[in-house]
């Protein structure tokens, strides 16, 4: 037998017990606050580092990320750096464009996997400018295998004008206008519920990337998606000027409208970026056990080799 959220029921003919009214108001307040507190969603993205050297262009050693939108808070709350180097004693440093974030270092051991991590959070504060995590090394070094994992925390609580809870005004025998006070309380708790309902987009992120994708070639990633909404995509490209990279997020069964994005190259040592929203926050309700209706993410280098291309997909 379940325990009701509101402990007391009132019946015709009963005395109007003020303690029971207050118990109910406080119980409703706690229930609303539990929902409001469930405001964070967690995900991670992976940035592969295989084959990079200390002399690789900075944009190839750098992960950039921005918000999906102005009112979609994103925070990097932890990072993990994993490197297998070609020699011992090479010190790789991971630094952030937000210099309040303390850099971390990793010293390689030839042929062995070495890790470094940080749980110092840093905010992704803009949907028009990037937070950048940049890897560098002061000595000659090659990363045989490696990757950077960035753990993200998204907050639905800043999507609207407020995410405030309901804090009841308790009634006593001295309450002058009990009916008016209760009307106000019902209005206030209804407003808190409406705020929670309006801030309903629980964002998560995924990253799909390629390096050295030759002109005219495509790379397809197949994802057993289940039920989710594609909210937006952000594409990053390092490619010679005059070229372009096409990104596509589609459903093999046509369960949602295809999201497309084309980003023009800005040069072999420059990063270009663009973004696109998903039409109508479309939903993919495919069966994740059926490969025939999987979601596909396609990256195509149209006319020039894509030295680096990656797509961040925000979904809920």
86 in a structural domain: no
Higher pLDDT, 226 or 119: 119
Residue 218's alpha-carbon distances to 90, 132, 230, in angstroms, are: 35, 26, 21
181 and 263 together in one domain: no
Mean pLDDT of the chain: 92
Q: Is the pLDDT assigned to residue 288 strictly greater than 80?
A: no
238 and 307 together in one domain: yes
Identify the pLDDT of residue 55: 97
Q: Is the pLDDT assigned to residue 282 strictly greater than 90?
A: no
69 in a structural domain: no
Euclidean distance between CA atoms 39 and 153, whole angstroms: 10
Please name the residue ranges forming H helices in the chain: 18-37, 178-198
Q: Look up residue 144 and give its two tokens.
A: 């045989």
Mean pLDDT of 14-24: 87
271 in a structural domain: yes
Higher pLDDT, 196 or 289: 196
Euclidean distance between CA atoms 74 and 41, whole angstroms: 10
Q: Is the pLDDT assigned to residue 290 strictly greater than 90?
A: no
How many domains does the chain divide into?
Answer: 2
Three-state SS letters, 195-220: HHHHCCCCCEEEEEEEEEECCCCEEE
Q: Pick from 150, 175, 198: which residue ends a domain?
A: 198
Q: Pick from 142, 175, 198: which residue ends a domain?
A: 198
Residue 35 banded pLDDT, cuts 50, 70, 90: very high
User: Which range has the worst mean pLDDT, 10-14, 74-78, 230-234?
Assistant: 10-14
268 and 181 together in one domain: no
State pLDDT tens for residues 147-164: 999 999 999 998 988 999
**Could you give the percent of the chain with pLDDT greater than 90?**
76
241 and 259 together in one domain: yes
Identify the pLDDT of residue 257: 82
Mean pLDDT of 17-40: 93
**Could you give the percent of the chain with pLDDT greater than 70?**
97
Higher pLDDT, 229 or 14: 229
Residue 1 banded pLDDT, cuts 50, 70, 90: low
Higher pLDDT, 102 or 258: 102
Identify the pLDDT of residue 113: 97
Residue 209: domain span: 204-316
Residue 244 CB neighbours (<10 A): 17
179 and 315 together in one domain: no
At 154, phi and psi to the nearest 5?
A: -105, 145
Q: Look up residue 251 and give its two tokens.
A: 């459903």
Residue 65 banded pLDDT, cuts 50, 70, 90: very high
Q: Is the pLDDT assigned to residue 280 strictly greater than 70?
A: no
308 and 179 together in one domain: no
164 in a structural domain: yes
Euclidean distance between CA atoms 171 and 269, whole angstroms: 67
Q: Look up residue 131 and give its two tokens.
A: 């937070």
104 in a structural domain: no
Residue 60, classed as helix, strand or coil, is helix
176 in a structural domain: yes
Q: Pick from 198, 220, 255: which residue ends a domain?
A: 198
Euclidean distance between CA atoms 88 and 36, whole angstroms: 50
174 and 217 together in one domain: no
271 and 299 together in one domain: yes
State pLDDT tens for residues 236-255: 999 999 999 999 998 877 77
Identify the pLDDT of residue 142: 97
Mean pLDDT of 75-101: 97
Identify the pLDDT of residue 279: 64
Scan for tokens 């990104």, then name that residue: 247
304 in a structural domain: yes
């Amino acid at each position: 037998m379940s325990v009701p959220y509101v402990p007391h029921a009132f019946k015709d003919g009963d005395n109007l017990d003020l303690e029971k009214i207050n118990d109910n108001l406080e119980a409703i307040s706690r229930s609303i606050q539990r929902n409001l507190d469930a405001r964070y969603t967690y995900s991670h993205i992976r940035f592969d580092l295989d084959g990079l050297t200390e002399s690789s262009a900075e944009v190839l050693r750098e992960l950039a990320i921005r918000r999906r939108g102005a009112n979609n808070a994103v925070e990097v709350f932890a990072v993990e750096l994993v490197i297998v180097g070609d020699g011992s004693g090479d010190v790789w440093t991971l630094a952030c464009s937000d210099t309040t974030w303390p850099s971390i270092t990793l010293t390689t051991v030839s042929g062995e996997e070495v890790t470094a991590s940080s749980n110092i959070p840093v905010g992704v504060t803009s949907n028009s400018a990037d937070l950048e995590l940049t890897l560098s090394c002061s000595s000659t070094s090659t990363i045989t295998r490696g990757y950077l994992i960035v753990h993200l925390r998204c907050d639905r609580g800043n999507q609207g004008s407020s995410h405030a809870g309901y804090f009841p005004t308790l009634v006593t025998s001295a309450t002058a206008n009990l009916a008016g006070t209760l009307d106000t309380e019902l209005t206030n708790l209804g407003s808190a519920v409406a705020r929670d309902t309006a801030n309903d987009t629980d964002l998560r992120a995924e990253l799909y990337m390629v390096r050295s994708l030759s002109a005219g070639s495509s790379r397809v990633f197949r994802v057993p998606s289940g039920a989710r909404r594609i909210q937006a995509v952000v594409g990053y490209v390092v490619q010679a000027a005059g070229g372009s990279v096409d990104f596509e997020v589609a459903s093999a069964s046509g369960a949602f409208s295809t999201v497309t994005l084309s980003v023009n190259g800005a040069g072999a040592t420059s990063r270009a970026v663009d973004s696109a929203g998903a039409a109508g926050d479309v939903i993919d309700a495919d069966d994740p056990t059926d490969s025939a209706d999987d979601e596909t993410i396609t990256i195509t280098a149209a006319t020039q080799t894509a030295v680096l291309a990656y797509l961040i997909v925000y979904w809920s």
